[in-house]
């Protein structure tokens, strides 16, 4: 597989992953602010299905990213400071994604203690990471 195919697949799966990671906390906002049992039950199902739907995209994004690094070689990786920062941000995003599993479970068990405002702020984390990753990947400032 050529490097261009690897990059195209990496970016495609990244877009799909981020679509879910952007939408899931919006569901959390609605869930945290709802008192309607039917709405809450519907949101529980949506949250769980969405998280499980986008998780393979996270694995594929990371897998194709690793394949790109492998294709370019160790020396390129060792010299690409921008890439080290990008990988660190991706690791933070993976932790964020994992924490979403905990939040979904908490909502499933009706144990949420946080406000809609918390989840609105929580929703901004992947946005900031995405901006930083794009700037790093395209401008390679370091």
The pLDDT tens digits for 96-128 are 999 999 999 999 999 999 999 999 999 999 999
Count the domains in the chain: 1
1 pLDDT exceeds 90?
A: no
Give me the mean pLDDT over the 79-100 stretch: 97
Q: Model's pTM, two decimal places?
A: 0.94
Give me the mean pLDDT over the 46-57 stretch: 98
Domain that holds residue 80: 3-139
Long-range contact pairs involving 58-66 (C-beta distance under 8 Å, separation at least 24): 58/17, 58/94, 58/97, 60/9, 60/13, 61/10, 61/13, 61/14, 61/17, 62/90, 62/94, 64/6, 64/7, 64/9, 64/10, 64/13, 65/10, 65/90
């Amino acid at each position: 597989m050529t490097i261009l195919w690897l990059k195209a697949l990496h970016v495609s799966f990244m877009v799909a992953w981020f679509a879910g990671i952007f939408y899931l906390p919006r569901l959390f906002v609605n869930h945290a602010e709802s008192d309607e049992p039917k709405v809450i039950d519907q949101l529980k199902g949506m949250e769980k299905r969405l998280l499980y739907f986008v998780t393979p995209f996270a694995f594929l994004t990371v897998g194709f990213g690793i394949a790109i690094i492998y294709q370019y070689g160790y020396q390129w990786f060792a010299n690409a400071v921008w890439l080290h920062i990008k990988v660190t941000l991706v690791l933070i995003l993976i932790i964020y994604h994992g924490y979403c599993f905990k939040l979904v479970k908490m909502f499933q068990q009706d144990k949420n203690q946080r406000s809609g405002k918390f989840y609105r702020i929580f929703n901004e984390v992947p946005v900031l990471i995405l901006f930083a990753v794009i700037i790093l990947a395209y401008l390679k400032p370091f």
